[in-house]
Amino acid sequence: MAIKVIIPTPLRAYAGKRESLDVNAATVGEALAALTSQYADLKKHLFADDGRLRSFVNVYVNEEDIRYLQKDQTHVRDGDTISIVPSIAGGAMD
């Protein structure tokens, strides 16, 4: 099933400069695994060493934060959009 994953600007450098990507997945966890298997550099930006999603990165299915759904077990359906939304601080950096 085609799920659109929107890559935020700060992480595009680790995802082949792509703005979004279509993946086949039944859950959020599968979708993110598909993403990081294609772009290995993304992994350390999304997941801590213990494999949990980093606490400055939120993931949404459509408008809803997966922390309030079933986290990485959240089911996704054809046509759903997954958004990765990391914390940004700027201002202008450096």
Partner 1 sequence: MGSRSGVSATPVSNAGVSLTKDEILRYSRHLIMPEVGMEGQLKLKQAKVLCIGTGGLGAPLGLYLAAAGVGRIGLVDFDCVDLTNLQRQVLFGTGDVGRPKIEAAADRLRDLNPEIKIDTFEAHLTSENALDILKDYDLVIDGTDNFPTRYLVNDACVLLGKPNVYGSIFRFEGQITIFGYQGGPCYRCLYPEPPPPGLVPSCAEGGVLGVLPGIVGTIQAAEALKLIIGKGEPLTGRLLLFDALAMRFRELKLRKNPACPVCGEHRTITKLIDYAEFCGIRGEEAPAPPTTAPEITPRDLKARLDRGDNLFILDVREPHEYQICNLGGHLIPLGDLSRRAGELDTSREIVAHCRSGKRSAEAVEFLRRAGFRKIWSLKGGILAWSDEVDSTIPKY
For partner 1, what does the binding mask look like between residues 51 and 70, x meaning CB under 8 A?
Answer: ---xxx-x-x--xxx-xx--
Of residues 39, 31, 36, the one with CA closest to residue 72: 31
d(CA 34, CA 23) in angstroms, rounded, equals: 7
Q: How far is the CB of 63 from partner 1 (least distance, A)?
A: 5
Q: How many residues bind partner 1 (CB under 8 A)?
A: 28
Three-state SS at 58: strand
CB atoms closer than 10 angstroms to residue 51: 8
Stretch near partner 1 under the rule CB under 8 A, chosen from 6-14, 29-37, 71-79: 6-14
For partner 1, what does the binding mask look like between residues 21 and 40, x meaning CB under 8 A?
Answer: --------------------
